[in-house]
Structure 1
Amino acid sequence: MSQHDCDLLIVGAGILGLAHAWAGVRRGLKVRVFERSCTPLGASIRNFGQALVTGQAPGPMLDLARQSHGLWAQLGAAAGLAMKQQGSLIFARTAAEEAMLEAFCAGRGQALGYRTELLRGAALDRLYDGRFAHHRAALHGLDDRQLFSREALPQIIDYLAGEGVQFHFSTLVRDVEPGSALTTAGRFSARHIVVCSGHDYQTLLADHMARLQPSVCRLQMLRARPAQPLDLQHALLTGLSCVHYGAFSDLPEAEAIRTEIRRDYPVLEVRGIHLLISPTPYGELIIGDSHDYGSDAVPFNEEGVDELLIELAEHTLGGRLQVLERWQGVYGTRGPGPFSVVRAAEGVSAVLMHTGLGMSVGLGLGERTVAALLGEGEWPEGRAT
């Protein structure tokens, strides 16, 4: 070990990079993390902070989300994270959406042990003093958590630094090869290098990245304040999410929702809009999102998309909103699976998400990848190359 600058060198300080750093330092490894920005500015701080188990597709993603659920409890306690643990609510606004939630609870939800409960009638009316009584039903996901990402990630970084992880911010990694990385701060040697570069597919391992045929998804996002104060403790979704999330999207009942969307509001499908709402610690709400795919994230937002998001959110919340802030979310997508683990060379790997679910599964993915690097377990299955 003394002949190396570190045991584990990680490129990227988003949630995947931090997950690998945490897995490494817990095993007593000497860890360095390199980040080209002065602080994380990518997908991990632009998101909703939702760590969902409920929506994950059966198989690797559900397994990783369940593992991450336990890891979030450990990391949250250790780093002092302000984490909302009341779960999520998926609201059914139409008969088709209600039928979807009923079918899930009676079938897949029960068979695979998703911890959920279907709220209707008096149980629905009791939520937030009847604020959501205009909906038909709500699926309560009991294992779902939510953080304010733009504050949580710096807290995690501070905690890991206190545990001995060495961070190099405003430092670009120009090249990686077995045993070393060339950076703008010089060359560093390492036993293991893990590239967690988000949607940057051209700076490092470009040939390996190109084989994945990835693209970029950009999302329009808002932060708003309700006109009527709402001390929201749950992550909120609607039945629209059932055609996007793998726990529901392949069930027969999801097709009725798609038919309803195409008939009544086709622009929602065209723009990839399904409503997500997350509370901040300050009585505000993060609202989104839309999905626009391409080789790059173009910088121009469409006001019509924001208007649709606000309309959906105001209906769901039963009140008006004041928009405080707008931004673009961005993540890598359209890969051959929900994530890829690329074994580029001896001691050099890349771990990439191809969905916007890094907060939900990232801790488990980092744990499994580091275990595999050290010969403690199998490589994670999403797509391994």
Structure 2
Amino acid sequence: MTQIHCDVAIVGAGILGLSHAYAAARRGLSVRVFERTATPLGASVRNFGQALVTGQPPGVMSDLARASRPIWAQWAEGAGFSLRRNGSLLFARTEAEEHLLEAFCAGRARELDYRVGLLRGSELNDLYQGHFRHHRAALLGFDDQQLYSREALPSLIDYLRREYGVAFHFSTLVRDVDTGVLRTTAGTFTAGQVLVCSGHDYQTLLAEVIAPLEPQVCRLQMLRARPQVDFGLAHSILTGLSCVHYGAFSDLPESEAVREQIRRETPELEEQGIHLLISPTPHGELIIGDSHHYGSDAAPFNAELVDRLMLALAEDTLGMRVDVVERWQGVYGSRGPGPFSVLQAADGITAVLMHTGVGMSIGPALGERTVAALFG
């Protein structure tokens, strides 16, 4: 059998795989992408579709998030998927959360050029016909974007195939990689460079290389719901609960008061790793989540208590009831030595792994960075 050769072979058609495919193909390299399922079904389509700059910690993560922003805009225009570029709203529900947002705006946001505004009084009360007036304040993150992953990723795949000649091999398991060679269920392929972007699968490929990182898997409970009153929500929604999870806020001194209040008044939220995120879809529905449970594997069992807690938080934040349409588990790789790892596993073989759930936020620029390092 004749072996098919390409400049770059990529394992995984999630956001990291597609980001690296784009970065390589736009440099004129021939690219093939291999995905074990018939369509992407991992972390990249189970998420909120939030591409956040505001919550990223200072340094490499905020730099990558900012650099990813124009790439998302280019993809949306070329591929024709919906991309909201009007930012996010992070609501302070308590005095401690409001003080944390004030400190962030007065200090880190000014010093490191996070483009934000703090809404209070009439500015807050006028949002969406007063639906959020029961909060103390809202942080408007101007640079944050939001897309509907289930539609955006298939559209991006079609765009890469159509405009850049990227070849995709779906329903194809890559059994083994070696320098310049991929052995798959569709035959053997050769490549100048192999990039392994296989998400939270730490066993099928490069297990010996990945094992010293001691990565874990994070399992999330998530919901899709329809609000009983459609008030045209067009922003991604977060609350002060997110401030103890996102690095832009979590190391500020004021975050400790928020953390202590959660432990004192709602310890079940910390126990279940819950912080509320809400993303509107282009179809008038809301993606609601999420919880965080860590381990070596993602257990298949959802807890109804967790869903009830998240729904109560969502309804309190929105000021209305919602009707659940769908429930599912999110999953992503987590808790490695940093937010991500780029490992040279062997000559011509590079593994790219996320250790946190912000692949949509930084993936496009991480692909550019990795490919630039390999090809100049």
**Deviations along 1:59-93, whole A, 9 cap, x unmatched?**
11001001001211111111112101110000000
* Counterparts of 2:112 and 2:326, CA distance in 1: 39
The answer on whether the counterparts of 1:72 and 1:363 sit within 8 Å (CA) in structure 2 is yes
**Deviations along 1:143-162, whole A, 9 cap, x unmatched?**
00000001100000000010
Q: Secondary structure at the match of 2:48?
A: coil
Aligned length: 373
**Deviations along 1:188-218, whole A, 9 cap, x unmatched?**
0000000001000000000011011001000
Q: Secondary structure at the match of 1:373?
A: helix
**Deviations along 1:101-140, whole A, 9 cap, x unmatched?**
0000000011000000000000001110111010000000
Q: How does 1:334-349 map to 2 (within 5 A)?
A: 334-349=335-350
Q: How does 1:281-300 map to 2 (within 5 A)?
A: 281-300=282-301
**Deviations along 1:206-249, whole A, 9 cap, x unmatched?**
00110110010000000000111121110000000000000000
* Counterparts of 2:59 and 2:231, CA distance in 1: 36
The answer on whether the counterparts of 1:51 and 1:144 sit within 8 Å (CA) in structure 2 is yes
The answer on whether the counterparts of 1:4 and 1:191 sit within 8 Å (CA) in structure 2 is no
Aligned residue number for residue 329 of structure 2:
328
Aligned residue number for residue 116 of structure 2:
116
Letter of the structure 1 residue corresponding to residue 291 of structure 2: S
Aligned residue number for residue 88 of structure 2:
88
Letter of the structure 2 residue corresponding to residue 236 of structure 1: I
**Deviations along 1:302-330, whole A, 9 cap, x unmatched?**
00000000000000000001000000000
TM-score (norm 1): 0.96
Q: How does 1:1-385 map to 2 (within 5 A)?
A: 5-162=5-162, 163-374=164-375, 376=376
Q: Say what the alpha-carbon RMSD is for the aligned residues.
A: 0.8
**Deviations along 1:325-350, whole A, 9 cap, x unmatched?**
00000000010000000101111000
* Counterparts of 1:70 and 1:110, CA distance in 2: 22
Q: Sequence identity, in percent?
A: 69
* Counterparts of 1:317 and 1:255, CA distance in 2: 26
TM-score (norm 2): 0.98
Of 70-79 and 112-121, the range deviating more from structure 2: 70-79
The answer on whether the counterparts of 1:116 and 1:139 sit within 8 Å (CA) in structure 2 is yes
Aligned residue number for residue 380 of structure 1:
none
* Counterparts of 1:238 and 1:37, CA distance in 2: 35
The answer on whether the counterparts of 2:225 and 2:325 sit within 8 Å (CA) in structure 1 is yes
* Counterparts of 1:20 and 1:127, CA distance in 2: 39
The answer on whether the counterparts of 1:230 and 1:283 sit within 8 Å (CA) in structure 2 is no
* Counterparts of 2:228 and 2:361, CA distance in 1: 30
Unaligned runs of 5+ in 2: none
* Counterparts of 1:312 and 1:128, CA distance in 2: 19
Q: Secondary structure at the match of 1:252?
A: coil
Letter of the structure 2 residue corresponding to residue 170 of structure 1: S
Q: Secondary structure at the match of 1:304?
A: helix
The answer on whether the counterparts of 2:4 and 2:188 sit within 8 Å (CA) in structure 1 is no
**Deviations along 1:14-49, whole A, 9 cap, x unmatched?**
000000000011000100000000000000000000
Unaligned runs of 5+ in 1: 377-385
Q: How far did 1:4 drift?
A: 6.5
* Counterparts of 1:193 and 1:90, CA distance in 2: 40
Q: Secondary structure at the match of 1:282?
A: coil
Letter of the structure 1 residue corresponding to residue 59 of structure 2: G
Q: How far did 1:96 drift?
A: 0.3
